[in-house]
Amino acid sequence: MKEHRHARARERKAHLSPDAERMVAAALGLANSGSRIEDRFWEAQLAARIERLLDSGHIQAVYDSLDRLHQTDSEAYGALIEAVEEAAETVSTEIDGQRWDMLLVAAPLVVWTRFRIPSGPLPAEAAQALAAHWQGHVLSRPARFRMSPCLYSIDQLPRDFGELRRVTRKLGLAAVSGQAAKLDLKTLPETAEMLADSRFLLGVVAVPSGAPLFRWQESEPGDHASRVQCLEQWIAQARPNIEPLLPGCGFECLLPDAFHLNLRESDRRVRPYSIRAAVHYLTHALDIEPSQIRATVAPFGDERADEYRIGLSVGEDDEDVAHGIVWPLLGAESEDDEPPPLEQIREVLREVGVAEMRLWPDLTEPEFCEDCGVPLYPNGKGEVVHAEMPGDVEPDSTHFH
């Protein structure tokens, strides 16, 4: 099953609505299907119902059905979340007698810094240049494209599947018409300050139904390029336009592709950078060597590990945590993987010079600061505490967590 990420329903319901019941039944049917023709039957049922619910704003039934299957059947949950993601990031509609397929695409950046990672609306010239390079080096010849003139943090992305579908439709119609899309970029939420995080360029590619979306789908030799070639060209052409937008930051460009696929890939790729950036930050802020940092790692979750939290301590006091890192587990990741998540964490710590890693053996319920809402991290004494820099050190960015 693919790994997935979605905003979970806040309340678990004992009784599902008729729409939610039918989605659960169709997802179970799809998960147990024995042929592609049966797959298509269940997929069509799911798509019609999900699209209707997202378009009408009655999204709670979608979350209720996801929550039920998350508890009861992981394979059916995977089938349903894929159907929901597809409905959110794709729109098919007829315009002036022509059927158009529209896909919400993202170009993620994995960014690290000792300071602040910018986000928000882009200068018009930068947005135009990036959109031109995106279209010229990644998209197919018949594709039309409209990019949002914004560098989004994870906190500023559309909050639910219904909003994602509305953004897909709005940008898609703008791509087909060649007109600007009216997006509200002045009231974006504040962005949590992190030493390593993802940033996203968003857009919608629209093609006549059945036409290729990307260059790697093109069949003509002059138009075709592999995914690797597209990424190389994107890095070469887009990076000079991105660098001025991220002063004081290092960053890695990922291949522009479908929104949910790249949301998960950015989650995966940012994890080791979070550790590297934290150790780099501590060594410079405190004028110490990486070998003077100790890491305490603990699994956190309700019934199974959903994430590891890493508390970094300095000095002789095992009670204090100077900086904390969250290493999320994505989808079906577990200690049965090769290499297992803990070994991945250990390897990154070794690479940056942190030799001492202590592990809590038991699963711990996630805890957060009541005042500011940030995660609490494990220390060397078996407690979860707030990450705080030593009191005699006041660098500009001590509030990163």
Q: Any bridge partners for residue 153, and if so which? A: 199
Locate all alpha helices (DSSP H) within 14-141, ordered by sequence.
Answer: 18-31, 36-56, 60-72, 74-89, 124-137
Distance CA 308, CA 326 (A): 6
- How many whole angstroms separate alpha carbon 214 and alpha carbon 194? 33
Contacts of 34 (CB under 8 A, 6+ apart): none
Name the residue with tokens 């018009």. 124
- Residues 292 and 32 sit within 8 Å (Cβ to Cβ): no
Q: Decide if 269 contacts 254 (C-beta within 8 A).
A: yes
Q: How many CA atoms lie within 13 A of 374 on its CB side?
A: 18
Dist CA 58 CA 168 (whole Å): 18
Per-residue pLDDT of the chain (401 residues; tens, 9 = 90+): 344 444 443 444 568 999 999 999 999 999 999 999 999 999 999 999 999 999 999 999 999 999 999 889 989 999 999 999 999 999 999 999 999 999 999 999 999 998 889 999 999 999 999 999 999 999 999 999 999 999 999 999 998 999 999 999 999 999 999 988 888 888 898 888 889 999 999 999 999 999 999 999 999 988 999 999 999 999 999 999 999 999 999 999 999 999 999 999 999 999 999 999 999 999 998 999 999 999 999 999 887 888 999 999 998 777 889 999 999 998 777 666 778 899 999 999 999 999 889 998 889 888 898 888 889 999 988 888 888 888 655 544 434 43
Phi, psi (degrees; rounded to nearest 5) at 389: -65, 155
Q: Rounded distance, CA 69 to CA 78, Å?
A: 9
